[in-house]
Structure 1
């Protein structure tokens, strides 16, 4: 067992856990004060549900021996009963620690979707959707992308994107961001528009949103750097590309915002940071630091306009999960095909480094497959819940605020002391 890597990954688990309040604050600050607590509870609820599923059978579905490259064995590691022996390792890392690291990936991915349903989805329906989507979509897709042959056991067979297609996704551009973004689009369509759709929706607390973005930025070093699974040069390089891409995206977002709207905003800075982090996630081990500047800058500039798709096409993606995570994830995944350099940890060349279009088409197939599968299954889940238990709060409940009607508490106590 490599104690240095184990210590590094223990720190990464703590960093990933900080992303839970980070996401809650980021989303909670952007919604109405009447539903801020509900918005934050959606994050905590999703994390709690997915965490239990992960231990019971989720880890096994993702990293168990594959059924045709589509999903892992449901029972091979059920309950994680065989992963607790001290000598059970993945490249010197205890498998139990690897498992909790990956559990946080699963939990945060599901929680991301909640931003598309702000102010109008029943909490119980959200919990049902989060549970079903994790089992039917995230676990299989994570198997496609993250389950390399022989990762957990010497003879284990993994997923088709990682092993057969050979697309590059260092830390989850497809499995996390495209996956969550496509699901967000589907559930937003099924749920319908809020009463405020088309009107100016002001965030109730911009400092909370900036604080949340900052916590997410900090946790993202664990997200990307920890995906190297070793305390070494690859992790260090990945943290450099993550940092510089995010900086480029913030500046690009603000520059376009200034040109387009005549001003720059705190929410714009926060959104730009998240966009850069999303885009560099699949590419952080494939592109050079200069390539990372292009990845972040392109994503930051494009996603400013992508968040406007909801107005043009009429779907109510309340907190721009589609415009940031889906579009940013697609951009980062595809740009690997252009900017990848074999001198980086992933060891492949893109078009601009003499690699031709071979890597580009692989990236496109991976992005398209995840997007299509996630959208279709998420739509079916949301539609089934709508026709059975119902997913939308009533107009009166939406008007009065979800916090007061469903949780019997508010984000702030306005009573004088």
Structure 2
């Protein structure tokens, strides 16, 4: 008979009770009064007035605050002698009816003679005469879910049981082929001249509270043991680390324009894309789709999902110190507009959905507004034109004037074709001309 310690039983009971009692606030009138941290103030209170000051003082300090208080500190791949190698497992030169070249690639990350392999699916236009700008994003259900082609491998990594016939326990099965194709309009993407590279996020790290024993965390067990337990990396940082290692490989790929790789993510993977873009300036453009709390939405608004609720549901996503701010968002030394500011001056897309109140669309928009002053240090506009005096747009009236794009799609929490068309338009504006 399995014996559960009394303390564990109490914790389980309290967790269930808290989950049942949590009632999200969806009333703007009930948002607590708050004051956002000043993005352009240095630690000594002096104002940052130039892009040079931001790069040398403001940006490193802000990045460290997010590492120490939110996402955690990741191992330095150079100091840890990390190597990345890619091996093409299969190739189809007439994929999508001859419109694309599809490659299935094993990307292997090695550290201290141990390794982890991510399966990366890459599509590029068959008509391209050279390297193309490429979207890089993690998927939720396996590479086989983005395209029903039976030749695509099914991952053998741990997967959340979906109870819809697409998994067997915690393993992907044939029934999942193509179930997420609507989120990945590959024909549209390659038809616009772009490539697409995607990896199942569970190949990098399992999305469960396993004590960081498996996946990319397990690969760095020695480093984890010596790191500060309060500030070492959580799963979001682990997935972002994997995206950067995928970019390491793409820099060697002749079919991909590595100077113009666009990192994209939806929901928890939208949080991941933002953190990847903030920590790795090689990403030429960053896309956050419905990323919400811990992503683009301002934490201090406590609208919809709160810091306390997200930590209760997914304690492994962030570092342990982030727990200090459960229902205590005003004590955070940073807020999410500063995360967006870390991406300046690169093009940034933030998107919300009208029915996704849990992710606080207005809070995501306000982050764009309050990140814009950092963009102006570089001589470019952020969400607005000459200033940030811009109102929340109506649904499906995208704001794409400056280097920050924002749109509010009609519908639910999802990554839809409408979203992709806006991202492609924005990439055309900022990357294709380069």
Name the TM-score, length of structure 2 as normaliser. Answer: 0.29
Kindly indicate which of the two structures has a greater share of residues assigned to strand: 2
Name the TM-score, length of structure 1 as normaliser. Answer: 0.30
Higher relative contact order (CA 8 A, sep 6+): 1
Kindly indicate which of the two structures has a greater share of residues assigned to helix: 1
